[in-house]
Amino acid sequence: MAHSDLTTRRDSAGETTAVPEPGTGNDARTAGPVPAGMRRVPVVPLLIVSSVALLVSLPAGTMFGPTHISFADVVDVWQARITGGADGSVEDRIVWNIRAPRVILAAIVGGGLAVAGTIVQTLVRNPLADPYLLGVSAGASVGATAVITLGVLAAAGTWAISAGAMIGAVLAAIAVFGITLSQGGLTPLRLVLTGTVLASAFSAMASYLVFRSAEPQMAQGVLFWLLGSLARASWEQLLLPLVVLVAVLVPLVLIRGWLDGLLTGADVAEGLGVPVARLRIVLFVSQAVLVGVMVAVSGAIGFVGLIIPHVARLLVGPLHGRLLPVAAVLGALFLVWVDVAARVLAPPQDIPLSVVTGIVGAPVFLVLLGRRRYRFGGES
Amino acid sequence: MNIHLQARGLACGRGRHSVLRDVDLTVPRGGRVALVGPNGSGKSTLLRALTGVDRPHAGEVLLKGRPLASFTARERARQMAVVSQHEAPPADLLVRELVALGRLPHRSPWSSEPVDDHAMAALERLDLAHFADRAVDQLSGGELRRVLLARALAQDVDLLVLDEPTNHLDLRHQHELLATVRDLDVTVIAAIHDLHLAARYLDEVVVLHQGRVHGVGDPEEALSAERVAEVFGVHVARVRHPVTGRLHLLVEPEEVVVDPARAMPG
């Protein structure tokens, strides 16, 4: 590092004597040392440490709740269950039937939203995009609100809200996709415009459904769902989100070279042999499926899909072979502990997860914003 | 003649309006062609059609005798490298990562082998190896231009297409970059503003004007004083360097009236 800094300074000093470059000469920037935000963390140790932390956090997370259960008891329960000898005690039922699925779902949803955020940021080439940008979650909220306030899909029982949200998400994704494609292709600008406009429209529809419902209890139910909760987690609910997360993450890590190419912009990526049009469709569908499923099982949890991809990118850089797995593990780890906080901060009530992520996330994000340079409208 | 790239009856433009029409162009293998013309004459537009980024409105482009439209993006990327004028890579990408993207067409997207040998070789060739671990946003505009050329070299192809490659470069690097390109033993097509650089480093000049090819030929022939006056609206005197004997263009905005009394003898 020291050596390259020296050569750098000499080089840029030589350049200042030459013809100045209009609009681009900025020698303070050229000669300065590498800013802290640019240092990369080695990816393999980071993945190992964060994965181990996640594996410890899963049982550890089940200690917390209205009834505190000691770590030793928790370990006993997990050991007994994994080796097949459950004792059916109160601890066993609380830890295994109620908290374990909830903690695992938190990990899956956290990972899923972080991956979705990474995908959307790559798709629209903007590090400030979040997974809810393209309207899928707003569509899901219309579906869920319709279930809560109108009682549609009552036949689906406990799955009704998830089913409603899923249907809403699918319809919204099809609308955004169709309109964007018909207006000139899945370009970043078109996607952001169409997604933002349709998201507003969907939110208005959801608001109207709440407004016309007679019972205030329903409004509260909708609000609670919108802000995100894992309180309804059950073992049967885990399979679909897990399968979707793996089914999206693994192929995207495999085609990481093409995703990296897309970082340079559509024309350049095409010049590097990336099938841009098809890749954009793959990315759109991936984020739609991920967001739809995650929102269906947990509501619209905010900030995870914005901050975690950002933190991951600060740690390991923008190349997707490193970025995607790191975002997935960090997202999982983050949401497990957010959900623990949601359970213990105001017992016996559950705090909606978006409240926790917002309170934790906003200051963290402001610190990150201060550390990093952004370009916006041609200015940095 | 072994033809590398050929345009036949090409009409092209962005949107529906054709900026250029009836373009016929033949680039031999190993040829080095400069596209010159005033702002808005369609240099970039023509390059976008020649590289298959935009579909031509009429006519066709043949790459090694095969219609360019029949190439997949990947096949095309193994045949030609393009350095565009307005690329803004993400600020946090490192230089060696950016240059290694030039290897994309040659590896499967899931290969994990770090093919950085070509990338580093390309960086060294342009004397940029000490930038390898720098983030893109720590480069000056001129440094970025050279890094992007390094990526094109890493692509390891025999056709380079450059859009204003010397923009943002200081004088020494303008000459160094074009000299490097000239010595590469590849076919080159470059849109270039500076007529003197075009004449010096490229073998053939194509002058674009008012939506057509106005003239083609070797630099001396294509950049005649009359044509430069008509196309660019400036007046040039073509003089020889007193030592090297090379052609230089002296530019005056207004026509210079020669006063016989003050004319220097010889």
Residue B239: strand pairing partners: B248
Confidence of residue A20 (pLDDT cuts 50, 70, 90): very low
Q: Give the ipTM.
A: 0.88
Among the partner residues B82, B102, B109, nearest to A258 by beta-carbon distance:
B109
Mean pLDDT of A172-188: 92
pLDDT of residue B263: 54
Instruction: Give the separation between CA B37 and CA B23, rounded to whole angstroms.
Output: 14
Picking from A26, A264, A276, the nearest residue to B87 by CB comes out as A264
Flag if A317 and B93 touch (Cβ within 8 Å). yes
Surface-to-core class of residue A42, CB atoms within 10 Å of its CB (0-12 exposed, 13-18 middle, 19+ buried): exposed
Q: Calculate mean pLDDT across residues B151-180.
A: 91
Cα separation of A285 and A304, whole Å? 20
Percent of chain A with pLDDT over 70: 87
Whether residue A317 has pLDDT greater than 80: yes
pLDDT of B72 over the 80 cut: yes
Which residues are CB-contacts of A151 (< 8 A; sequence separation ≥ 6)? none
Which residues in chain A have their CB less than 8 angstroms from residue B82's CB?
268, 271
CA distance A348 to A67: 9
- CA A247 to chain B, closest CA, distance in angstroms equals 16
CB-closest option in B72, B80, B87 to A265? B87
Of A12, A32, A273, the CB nearest to B77: A273
Contacts of A261 in chain B (CB under 8 A): 101, 104
pLDDT (0 to 100) of residue A82: 85
CA-based nearest distance B116→chain A, Å: 13
Beta carbons of A111 and A131 less than 8 angstroms apart = no
Q: Which residue has the tokens 């997860």?
A: A353
Over residues B41-63, the pLDDT tens digits come to: 889 999 999 999 889 999 999 99
Closest by CA position to B78, among listed B60, B53, B103 = B103
Closest Cα of chain B to A317: distance in Å?
7
From the list A357, A318, A341, the residue with the least C-alpha distance to A113 is: A357
Please state the rounded mean pLDDT for residues B84-108.
89
Prior bond of A241 cis (ω within 30°): no
Q: How far is A23 from chain B (nearest CA, A)?
A: 8
Q: Could you tell me how many residues make up chain A?
A: 380
| Chain-chain contact of B143 with A26 (C-beta, under 8 angstroms) | no
The whole-number average pLDDT for the span A154-183 is: 88
Instruction: Identify the residue whose tokens are 């097509």.
Output: B189
pLDDT of residue A16: 33
pTM of the predicted structure, to 2 decimals: 0.87
Asked if the model's pLDDT at residue B186 lies above 90, the reply is yes
Longest dimension (CA), chain B: 75
pLDDT band per the 50, 70, 90 thresholds, residue B114: low
Of A63, A58, A121, A123, the closest CA to residue A91 belongs to: A63
Nearest CB neighbour to A272, from listed B75, B104, B133:
B104
Residue A28 pLDDT > 50: no
Q: Beta-carbon neighbour count of residue B242 at 10 Å?
A: 6
Contact between B161 and B80 under an 8 Å Cβ cutoff? The reply is yes
- CA of A22: which chain B residue's CA is closest? B168
Each residue's pLDDT tens digit, A320-379: 999 999 999 999 999 999 999 998 888 778 889 999 999 888 888 888 777 666 554 444
Mutation pick from B44, B92, B171 vs chain A, by most beta carbons of A within 10 Å, is B92
Q: Where are the beta strands (DSSP E) in A54-101?
A: none
User: Could you report the per-residue pLDDT of A233-271, keeping only the tens digit for each?
Assistant: 889 889 999 999 999 999 999 999 999 999 999 999 999
In sequence order, what DSSP letters do the residues of A261-278 get, joined into one string?
Answer: HHTT-HHHHHHTT--HHH
Model confidence at A38: pLDDT above 80:
no
